[in-house]
Amino acid sequence: MLSIVPHAPHPLTGELPTAADRLAQVLELGETAERLGFDAYAIGERHAGPFLSSAPTVLLAALAARTSRIRLLTGVTVVAVLDPVRVAEDYATLDQLSRGRLELVVGKGAEAGHFDLFGLDEERQWELQREKYELLRRLWSEEGVDWEGTSRPPLKGVTTIPRPYAGPPRIWHGSATSLHSPELAARHGDPLFTANAIQPREAYARLVAHYRERFEAYGHDPARARVAAGSGGLLVADTPEQAVRRYKELYETKVAQGFRPHLEGRAGYNTPFRTIEEAIAGGPQLIGSPEQIAEKILGFHADYGHDLQSITVDGFGQSTAEQTETLARFAEEIAPVLRKEAPSTLWAE
């Protein structure tokens, strides 16, 4: 399960929970996800817009204290705007607190504006992403690091403390629109986490295909190329017809309210699937009956060959009870089908 902790008025009622109540809901759903047998719970990172995910380390640490088994992921850690030394320290501390349950998903972020917030040049986003990631990688795998680059002052003989719990945690590369992240992941033999959230499937399949091709070209065993995929929100009903009746106004109002005209034409910001029928037929949204949703995810798998499927249940402002029901239906009616039809050894290694 992934949450970027949206905090906007309900599309239909206008109700808005307090920040404290919304954050408590995120933690409660994390506990529920563990109880229901989910493999991992991911918290995103946003520094602009109506979100409460600017401090994912704090939320994940609170969740680590409330759980014992579920893996803790980010989605994504916006390493391009952060100091890699601070990232290494914070997340290694979280890895220690959770006794090795951490995996990082790094990316340059999908929210326009956060580079200005941190005083950085957005034109350098991919250069910053690559350089800061590669420094983070060294800080977790080496001691006494000497480093010099363009994104922060030089380092001399630096060993960040604490060290990760049992060696460097797995680092995924989040990929939404550009070939830069798949290329960086392939170069270092890392796994790829494709957003699969807004655009047509073909756009994400192109990123995955590039990643697999380059992974092998860099000399890595293609059998070790791992892919994960997100989704555009989960809404479950008993039948396809009921799904349309129950969620049409909610989905279409949310899409209309979320449309950002100043970003029109930029891939990854506005969904082209404006009606619920379009979203069900061709979008990455998971809306429909359990059978319909399982079939769609297996369709993703046919195109991506992915090991991990991410779902989001809090993107439409529903109550804790409604989100809990959705999680339970996925765990009980959909996940068993996926595990049988598309088994993965991702966390059996």
pLDDT at 270: 76
Cα 312 from Cα 235, distance rounded (Å): 9
Asked if the model's pLDDT at residue 123 lies above 80, the reply is: yes
Percent of the chain with pLDDT over 90: 91
Both 208 and 116 in one domain: the answer is no
Both 21 and 104 in one domain: the answer is yes
Asked if the model's pLDDT at residue 109 lies above 90, the reply is: no
Q: Locate tokens 């404006």: which residue?
A: 274
Per-residue pLDDT of 78-95, as tens digits, reads 999 999 999 999 999 999
Asked if the model's pLDDT at residue 162 lies above 90, the reply is: yes
Q: Locate tokens 């290494």: which residue?
A: 88
Structure tokens at 292: 């319909």
Q: For the chain, what is the largest distance between any 2 Cα atoms, rounded to a whole number of angstroms? A: 63
Contact residues for 96 (Cβ-Cβ < 8 A; gap 6+): 162, 164, 165
pLDDT at 112: 65
Strand partners, 309: 229
Q: Give residue 196's domain range.
A: 174-349
Q: Do the beta carbons of residue 92 and residue 164 sit within 8 Å? A: yes
Residues across the chain:
349
Both 92 and 238 in one domain: the answer is no
**Would you place residue 349 in the very low, low, confident or very high pLDDT band (cuts 50, 70, 90)?**
low
Q: Do the beta carbons of residue 340 and residue 46 sit within 8 Å? A: no
Both 112 and 193 in one domain: the answer is no
Report the mean per-residue pLDDT for the chain.
95
Domain boundary among 169, 202, 224: 169
109 or 98, greater pLDDT: 98
Average pLDDT over residues 51-71: 98
Domain count, the chain: 2
Per-residue pLDDT of 130-161, as tens digits, reads 999 999 999 999 999 999 999 999 999 999 99
What is the CATH number for 258? 3.20.20.30
Contact residues for 112 (Cβ-Cβ < 8 A; gap 6+): 48, 263, 266, 269
Both 147 and 230 in one domain: the answer is no
Q: Do the beta carbons of residue 181 and residue 107 sit within 8 Å? A: yes
Both 35 and 144 in one domain: the answer is yes
Cα 31 from Cα 325, distance rounded (Å): 14
Count CB atoms within 10 A of the CB of residue 199: 23
Structure tokens at 40: 């991992």
pLDDT at 271: 85
Both 128 and 204 in one domain: the answer is no
Per-residue pLDDT of 312-347, as tens digits, reads 999 999 999 999 999 999 999 999 999 999 999 999
Both 146 and 179 in one domain: the answer is no
For β-strands 71-74 and 102-107, DSSP reports them as parallel
Domain boundary among 169, 202, 234: 169
Both 23 and 133 in one domain: the answer is yes
Per-residue pLDDT of 286-321, as tens digits, reads 999 999 999 999 999 999 999 999 999 999 999 999
Q: How far apart are the first and last CA of the chain?
A: 21
Domain boundary among 120, 151, 169: 169
Both 239 and 129 in one domain: the answer is no
Per-residue pLDDT of 261-279, as tens digits, reads 666 767 767 788 999 999 9
Q: Backbone dihedral region of 335: left (phi > 0), alpha (psi from -120 to 50 degrees) or beta?
A: alpha
pLDDT at 73: 98
Percent of the chain with pLDDT over 70: 97
Both 341 and 316 in one domain: the answer is yes
Average pLDDT over residues 42-69: 96
Cα 250 from Cα 258, distance rounded (Å): 12
Structure tokens at 120: 């950085």
231 by DSSP, 3-state: which? coil
Cα 196 from Cα 7, distance rounded (Å): 22
The DSSP line for 63-108 is: HHHH-SSSEEEES-EEGGGS-HHHHHHHHHHHHHHTTS-EEEEEES
349 or 202, greater pLDDT: 202
For β-strands 192-194 and 171-175, DSSP reports them as parallel
pLDDT at 263: 66
For β-strands 227-229 and 2-3, DSSP reports them as unpaired
Both 139 and 187 in one domain: the answer is no
pLDDT at 186: 98
